């Protein structure tokens, strides 16, 4: 079992699909890094398979998926399912981007821990990760 | 009549004013533009540049506008960008728009088309027809413009890395209807440098991508005299988080690089430059944006005339399209976006834009609904017909602040142009990630200011909480993806497979020969019904793909 207090939080920031809007992902990656986390940014145009592989290889505590192309209802379920197939059940999955409000309950039902839409303060995202990774593992 | 004692207490000189201002209290700043430029409390005559730098509209250096009559002659063109689903759905929308008085068409392509993937490529799953129209083969292009007289209507296509392929599809689709390429008018974006800098929709490494662009520009210069082969775009650079000065400098430098390339290929600057046009963002800092457009006109005119020796005055004109800033829209209290868009659009108009797209208020959430698009369109009509700002040319010309800020942006842009030259030019600078890093730093800085509450975004970090109610957003029918995949597979089943292989083979051979213009080979591939993805893959066999080293 991982002990978040013993090491830096490891977060994969990923850009699934063909969407090239990487402003948000890069800002988040930098903010998490500045907050003392170990950040692995995948770069653009990643397949769900590639993202899941990165999460496993990097032994990540959390993965943030940035999607602004409207393809979230195809990509996110696929990534969540692949993680399950690979037996990964302790990684916090978050989604950020242009996500209409009425898609959020379905994403949460699939196991997404939080959805951050445009305007979400960086501090909230950082705090959320610290809290939820902490909650996940008994102290 | 004032009595002498009262008159003495009223400040009459700048120094007097400064003394009294020093005694009054000042709000907590920062008093900076959105891009972080310091703004003084007051601007006066002393801040004005040499009157020759301001000049007159339609006269070099065109600070006050590219045409002598500007909106007194004709208003800007309302050009709303559209595209979704398959070619059939978008064709219906195009015909609706033309029936309702729109003069030109502006095509949005879906992500797979922008990246050079066919609709049945594994990476296309969930993205087909979602952010624009899906085009796989010449047959889709023919459907897209079915029933539309492309010999008359001007068509704009927003596509970059695969631009030469899409243009080949367009030319062949017209050819099948007996319309020759020299009758086609319109614009293809094709601004490949800004893809590596900001928009990130690429297919090939930078050098072969520049060659493909050069081939298309050269072919258009002889075969498509009414076509604008590049629209140099700062829009995406700004959306990626650049400052106004970075948008200005990187965009103009991209344009100057394309001019250089054309000259290196033996073309005359006066044959190429008049057919280049620009595309800028309109952000929320009103005066900074206006100053940006005015500085852009002046720099372009000077560089074309002085550095490139262009003699045709049309080569000096920086004509541009404007779109309001997508990034300025908020998911919170979305109706407030109508106000933001109106102010940004007004900046574009007071900056002298030739055409304008206004965003819809729901675009921080999804593609716009029809109702939201209509409000965006009406916003332009209110500016054009109710506000009176079009009654006189460049109403802000000579304003102390506007002229001083125009000068400032010009200086900042020239600083960047020099730094890029020191790196060995724009292509080299992009390979070294220079503009990418500058933009990442600027966007991070702005976000930290917003997070710290130093820069107010209404509804986000101040005045939150009311009006966040759910609004209806557009949903794209997922069945359209299946329909497009079926269309593509139908074409594959019907075409002559041997002819496809032969034309793709010729294309590969041509790609391996550096001096050859690839447009004729691309036209042959299009005629053989080769798909976009197959053509791109054939070129990638020779050139390879592209993977960036992200900087953040």
Q: Which residue of A has its CA nearest to B200?
A: A20
Regions of chain B short of the pLDDT cut 50: 1-2
3-class DSSP state of B153: coil
Residues of A in contact with B447 (CB under 8 A): 27, 31, 122
Q: What pLDDT does B3 receive?
A: 52
Query: Is A44 touching B (CB cutoff 8 A)?
Result: yes
Q: Which residues contact residue B114 at a Cβ distance below 8 angstroms, ignoring those fewer than 6 apart?
A: A18, B132, B159, B160, B161, B162, B201
| Whether residue A136 has pLDDT greater than 80 | no
Mutate to test the interface with A, among B162, B200, B332 (most CBs of A within 10 A): B200
Q: What pLDDT does B44 receive?
A: 96
Question: Which tens digits make up the pLDDT trace of B6-43?
Answer: 555 677 899 999 999 999 999 988 899 999 999 999 99
Distance from the A102 Cα atom to the nearest Cα atom in chain B, whole angstroms: 8
Q: Give the residue among A124, A129, A25, A127 at the shortest CA–CA distance from B450.
A: A124
Q: Are strands A62-67 and A10-14 parallel, antiparallel or unpaired?
A: parallel
Cβ of B443 and A23 within 8 Å? yes
Q: What pLDDT does A5 receive?
A: 53
Helix/strand/coil percent split, chain B, to 5: 55, 10, 40
Q: What pLDDT does B412 receive?
A: 98
Q: How many CB atoms lie within 10 A of CB B453?
A: 12
Q: What pLDDT does A1 receive?
A: 47
Q: Which helix (H) or strand (E) holds B435?
A: helix B434-451
Cβ of B476 and A70 within 8 Å? yes
Over chain B, what is the mean pLDDT? 94
Of B178 and A100, which is predicted with more confidence?
B178
């Amino acid at each position: 079992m991982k002990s978040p207090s013993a090491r830096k939080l490891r977060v994969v920031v990923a850009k699934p699909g063909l969407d090239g809007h990487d402003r948000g992902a890069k800002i988040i990656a930098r903010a998490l890094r500045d907050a003392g986390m170990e950040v692995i940014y995948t770069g653009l145009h990643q397949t769900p398979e590639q993202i899941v592989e990165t999460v496993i290889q990097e032994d990540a505590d959390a993965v943030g998926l940035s999607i602004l192309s409207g393809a979230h209802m195809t990509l996110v379920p696929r990534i969540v399912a692949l993680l399950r197939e690979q037996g990964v059940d302790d990684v916090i999955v978050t989604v950020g981007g242009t996500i209409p409000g009425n898609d959020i309950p379905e994403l949460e039902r699939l196991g997404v821990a939080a959805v951050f839409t445009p305007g979400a303060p960086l501090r909230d995202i950082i705090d959320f990760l610290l809290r939820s990774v902490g909650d996940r593992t008994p102290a | 009549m004032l009595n002498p004692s009262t008159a003495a207490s009223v400040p009459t000189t700048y120094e007097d004013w400064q003394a009294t201002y020093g005694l009054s209290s000042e709000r907590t700043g920062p008093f900076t533009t959105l891009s972080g430029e310091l703004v003084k409390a007051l601007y006066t005559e002393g801040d004005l540049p040499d009157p020759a730098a301001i000049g007159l509209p339609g006269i070099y250096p065109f600070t006050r506008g590219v045409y002598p009559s500007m909106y007194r002659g004709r208003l800007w063109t309302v050009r709303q960008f559209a595209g979704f689903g398959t070619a059939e759905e978008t064709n219906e929308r195009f015909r609706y728009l033309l029936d309702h008085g729109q003069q030109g068409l502006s095509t949005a392509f879906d992500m797979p088309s922008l990246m050079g993937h066919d609709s049945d490529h594994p990476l296309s799953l969930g993205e087909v027809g979602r952010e624009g129209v899906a085009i796989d083969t010449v047959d889709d292009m023919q459907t897209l413009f079915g029933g539309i007289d492309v010999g008359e209507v001007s068509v704009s296509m927003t596509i970059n890395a695969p631009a030469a392929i899409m243009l080949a599809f367009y030319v062949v689709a017209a050819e099948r209807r007996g319309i020759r390429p020299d009758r086609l008018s319109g614009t293809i974006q094709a601004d490949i440098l800004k893809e590596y800098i900001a928009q990130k929709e690429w297919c090939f490494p930078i050098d072969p991508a520049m060659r493909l662009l050069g081939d298309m520009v050269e072919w258009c210069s002889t075969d498509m005299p009414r076509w604008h082969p590049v629209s140099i775009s700062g829009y995406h650079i700004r959306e990626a988080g650049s400052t106004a000065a970075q948008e200005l400098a990187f965009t103009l430098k991209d344009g100057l690089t394309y001019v250089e390339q054309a000259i290196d290929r033996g073309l005359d600057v006066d044959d190429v430059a008049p057919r280049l046009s620009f595309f800028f963002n309109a952000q929320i800092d009103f005066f900074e944006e206006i100053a940006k457009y005015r500085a852009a006109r002046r720099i372009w005119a000077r560089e074309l005339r002085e550095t490139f020796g262009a003699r045709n005055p049309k080569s000096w004109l920086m004509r541009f399209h404007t779109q309001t800033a997508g990034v300025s829209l908020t998911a919170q209290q979305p109706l407030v976006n109508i106000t933001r868009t109106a102010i940004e659009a007004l900046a574009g108009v007071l900056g002298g834009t030739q055409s304008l797209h206004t965003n819809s208020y729901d675009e921080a959430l999804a593609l716009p609904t029809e109702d939201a698009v209509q409000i965006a369109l009406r916003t332009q009509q209110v500016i054009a017909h109710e506000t009176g700002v079009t009654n006189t040319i460049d109403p802000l010309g000579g304003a102390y602040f506007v002229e001083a800020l125009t000068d400032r942006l010009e200086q900042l842009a020239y600083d960047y142009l020099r730094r890029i030259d020191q790196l060995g030019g724009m292509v080299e600078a992009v390979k070294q990630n220079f503009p990418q890093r500058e933009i990442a730093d600027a966007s991070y800085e702005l976000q930290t200011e917003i997070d710290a509450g130093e820069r107010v975004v209404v509804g986000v970090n101040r005045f939150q909480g009311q009006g966040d109610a759910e609004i209806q957003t557009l949903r794209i029918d997922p069945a359209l993806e299946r329909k497009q995949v079926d269309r593509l597979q139908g074409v594959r089943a019907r075409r002559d497979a041997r002819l496809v292989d032969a034309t793709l083979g010729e294309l590969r051979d041509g790609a391996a020969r550096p001096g050859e213009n690839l447009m004729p080979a691309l036209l042959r591939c299009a005629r053989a019904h080769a798909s976009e993805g197959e053509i791109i893959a054939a070129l990638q066999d020779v050139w390879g793909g592209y993977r960036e080293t992200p900087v953040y």
